[in-house]
Chain A
Amino acid sequence: MRQLLSIFTRILPTQIAYAHCDVPCGIYDPKPAQIAAATVLKMVQKINDLPKENLTVGDRNSFVRMVLIKEEHARKCKEELLILWTDYFKPEHILLFPNLHEIFWKAAKLCSKNKQEVSLEGAQELVKAVDEIASMFAKAASNAIKTEAALNKKSS
């Protein structure tokens, strides 16, 4: 029966309905953003290490691949940051981090900047910005655990 219905869903038009919780519910982690930012930095370093003159076909191939990877991971970094910014952090976190929105906005701008440029300084700034967000996340998560523990203690 289940298989038959599954076949029907492939033939008949279906729609996506959103449960409005992300990736999956309850699981947020700044690590993917940090890895993406570190990858951007690595690619910038590798691009800068390529010969400046008399590039071989192999060098040009490497250059193109490195730029593509930099682009992809800058995009991924921005995507992961936006998930944390819009879905994990709540209005009450502003009390803990008054500059939260500005920090995220600047980090998102750095993602774009690193797509547009090959800049060691820009890539290092991105890594630093994402690490700052990761610290905020860790503090917020730790705060949530303490609050939950206090509530559980109060109700028992």
Chain B
Amino acid sequence: MIPFLNPGDEVIVWKHSKPKIGDIAVFKKDNKFYIKRVKKTENGKYFVLGDNEKESIDSRKFGWIDKKDIIGKVIYKI
């Protein structure tokens, strides 16, 4: 998620509303939390991309994310 986020950066996540296109979403996949930017939404699913598209492993590899797996959206980077 470089250049917006670097390893060790801290963010505040708002869990009470779902992210929109362009927001940074935190979601759960395979028992781990991931953080990516929402590119598209369709039928309650999210297509997410890393900002460093060239190196990012994201929905292009692991597919659309279910609404139920979305934890929230980033509202502040500390």
B70 within 8 Å of A (CB atoms): no
Cβ-defined partner of B76 (8 Å) among A5, A16, A25: A5
Q: Which of A1-54 contact B (CB under 8 A)?
A: 2, 5-6, 9, 14-21, 23-26
Cβ A25 vs Cβ B50 within 8 A: yes
Q: How many residues of B contact A (CB 8 A)?
A: 23
CA distance A25 to B51 in the complex (A): 10
Query: How many A-B Cβ pairs are below 8 Å?
Result: 58
What's the Cα separation between A18 and B7 when bound, in Å? 9
Q: Does B78 lie within 8 Å of A26, measured CB to CB?
A: no
Instruction: Say if the beta carbon of B21 comes within 8 Å of chain A.
Output: no
What residues on B are CB-neighbors of A26 within 8 Å?
A: 2, 52, 54-55
Bound-state Cα–Cα, A17 to B55, Å: 17
A25 touching B52 by the CB < 8 A rule?
A: yes
Q: Is the CB of B34 within 8 A of A17?
A: yes
Contact flag A21-B52 (CB < 8 Å), given A5-B12, A6-B10, A9-B78: yes
> Which residues of the other chain, B, contact A19 by a CB distance below 8 angstroms?
1-2, 5, 7, 34-36, 50, 56
**Pair B57/A20 contact, Cβ less than 8 Å:** yes
- With a 10 A CB-CB cut-off, give which of A18, A19, A24 has the most chain B CB atoms: A19
Task: Give the Cβ gap from B28 to chain A, nearest Cβ, in Å.
Answer: 9
Answer whether residue B32 sits at the interface, using C-beta atoms and an 8 A cutoff: yes
Name the A residues within 8 Å of B33 (CB-CB): 15-18
Q: Are A9 and B10 in contact (CB-based, < 8 A)? A: yes
Known: A6-B10, A24-B2, A25-B1. A17 touches B56 (CB 8 A): no
Within 8 A of A (CB), among B34-59: 34-36, 50, 52, 54-58
Which 10 pairs show the lowest CB-CB distances between chains A and B?
A17-B35, A19-B1, A25-B52, A17-B33, A25-B2, A20-B57, A25-B55, A26-B55, A5-B78, A21-B55
Interface of B toward A, CB cutoff 8 Å: 1-2, 5-7, 10-12, 26, 32-36, 50, 52, 54-58, 76, 78
Interface contacts beyond A5-B76, A19-B36: sample of 5 additional A-B pairs, CB < 8 Å, sorted by A: A6-B10, A19-B50, A20-B58, A26-B55, A87-B57
